[in-house]
Amino acid sequence: MTFSTLKLSLPILDAISELGYETPTAIQKKAIPAILSGRDLIASAQTGTGKTAGFVLPLLEMLKGDKPNGERKRRAKRLRALILVPTRELAVQVESNICQYGKNLDVKSMAMFGGVDLESQKQQLIDGIDILVATPGRLLDMAHQRALHFDELKVLVLDEADRMLDMGFIGDINRIIDRLPEQRQNLLFSATMPDGVRLLADTAIDNPIEISIEDNRATTPQISQWVVSVDKGNKSTLLSHLIKEYQWTQALIFIRTKHGAAKLVSQLEKRGIKAESIHSGRSQAVRTQILTDFKSGKIGILVATGIASRGIDIDELTRVVNYDLPDDADDYIHRIGRTGRAGACGEAVSLVSMDDFKRLCAIERRLDQIIDRRRIEGFTTVKELPDSNLNFVSKSTDKKQSKSRDKKNKDKAFKGKASKGKAPREERNSNTRTSDTNSHKETSERSSESSHDSQNPWLRIRKK
């Protein structure tokens, strides 16, 4: 199958051909015709599968100028398609894809996110926008200030829905949905389909086509994964050693907290290694500049919290390092999926201390594979990491699973009541990720934009 069989018009085909896209990916083959048919869609697809083009290309096709000369009149402060994303970085990334794919069309797009001046974004909205890519918090601010109106909106896209729920955006999402016209097309993309996403889909999306693309990436990644057992207090020394010994010129290093990120950068610098960090404590302008410098190679070692790194899209990223393992095995897959793209070889290295062992087991179970262990001379651990067992189920995971089963049952009972009264406590909290390592004193970083809706967000979901 080629892109031309997908009923995309010439200006779009020319733009993607210039980017070197020859054949549509699995998600694109399924999503593009489904979206062009006008139906609602739920797609489960990971980052790296080409999902962005999967919804942007048909959006462009549907919204492209209909006058022969491509010129179009836009109504002030109106938008025709809204793409909600969890982070600023992803907003910038998706909008830049829209510009690339739509470069031969008269389609006006804009990325809108918090942490930057409101006024300049308001100015951009004044003449109307065709496709707005936005984070939920800033979008609501703008709507409250009547800087934009949704009456001409035709399509809503929820991108990385699972991540938006993890970050506590469910309340904002529902408040946004409440403001949209009833008649619209809804597209939901999510790497995973936990109960919260299912509930959102059930209530906000109408008779959707469902597609699922497991791990069928745009290019087959060749990722060499290995772990080193290390005592917690020795991690930064080991990392410095690895960078120097293996002459790593490029690495994206994931760390749990923003304080940890800043501390690690100063530890590396003390050992003569130049590094930078991105996390929610840094201004948007600084984060954007650092990302540009990392992409261009000016910065080689970048320390990032999971949230700040969301949406980093670098085709030639050679290495990711998990300084801290993520709580969720799917996040590990997301992280390592950033390397080894475009047929290149990638490396994913994890520094694992004893308190990370349960997470390692969960990841290996999810991958159904034991990750290669390496010993680094001079770095013996006080306590050797045990061999993990692919069938290992920690007590807390066990509890979590039975809780999830209970919750599914409650969800069923709850659905009918969604618009009536108070939701049970578990549903109210189900947008908060549970971790099987609650013992951690430091809390992992959440977006500065994240608004944990403690006041029963699920009540705001209305059945269409």
21 binds ligand AMP (CB under 6 A): yes
In the shown chain, the binding pattern of residues 141 to 180 toward ligand AMP, with x for contact by CB under 6 A and - for none, equals: ----------------------------------------
Nearest approach in angstroms of CB 192 to ligand AMP is 15
Nearer to ligand AMP, 17 or 123 (CB): 17
Which among 17-25, 64-72, 186-194, 412-420 is the span making contact with ligand AMP, rule CB under 6 A?
A: 17-25
Comparing C-alpha atoms, which of 32, 54, 22 is closest to residue 219?
22
Q: How far is residue 153 CA from its own chain's centroid?
A: 24
**Tokens read off for 104:** 């031969």
51 binds ligand AMP (CB under 6 A): yes
Q: Which of 14, 117, 245, 315 binds ligand AMP (CB under 6 A)?
A: 315
218 binds ligand AMP (CB under 6 A): yes
25 binds ligand AMP (CB under 6 A): yes
214 binds ligand AMP (CB under 6 A): no
Comparing C-alpha atoms, which of 83, 51, 80, 82 is closest to residue 66?
80
Nearest approach in angstroms of CB 343 to ligand AMP is 10
* Rounded Cα gap, residues 314 and 330, in angstroms: 19
DSSP strand pairing (155-158 vs 275-278): unpaired
Nearest approach in angstroms of CB 216 to ligand AMP is 10
Q: Which of 50, 114, 171, 457 binds ligand AMP (CB under 6 A)?
A: 50
Nearer to ligand AMP, 334 or 407 (CB): 334
Comparing C-alpha atoms, which of 409, 399, 404 is closest to residue 429?
404
Comparing C-alpha atoms, which of 344, 327, 326, 368 is closest to residue 335?
326
Positive or negative torsion for Cα 43, 255, 316, 223 = negative
30 binds ligand AMP (CB under 6 A): no
Nearest approach in angstroms of CB 27 to ligand AMP is 8
Q: 215 near 46, Cβ under 8 Å?
A: yes
211 binds ligand AMP (CB under 6 A): no
47 binds ligand AMP (CB under 6 A): yes
Nearer to ligand AMP, 28 or 185 (CB): 28
Q: Which of 40, 130, 160, 313 binds ligand AMP (CB under 6 A)?
A: 313
Nearest approach in angstroms of CB 19 to ligand AMP is 7
* Rounded Cα gap, residues 435 and 121, in angstroms: 37
Q: Which of 44, 52, 430, 450 binds ligand AMP (CB under 6 A)?
A: 52
* # chain residues binding ligand AMP, by CB under 6 A: 14
**Tokens read off for 442:** 């430091």
Q: Which of 24, 114, 208, 221 binds ligand AMP (CB under 6 A)?
A: 24
Which among 19-27, 73-81, 111-119, 277-285 is the span making contact with ligand AMP, rule CB under 6 A?
A: 19-27
Nearest approach in angstroms of CB 210 to ligand AMP is 18
53 binds ligand AMP (CB under 6 A): yes
Q: Which residues bind to ligand AMP, rule: CB under 6 A?
A: 21, 24-25, 28, 47-53, 218, 313, 315
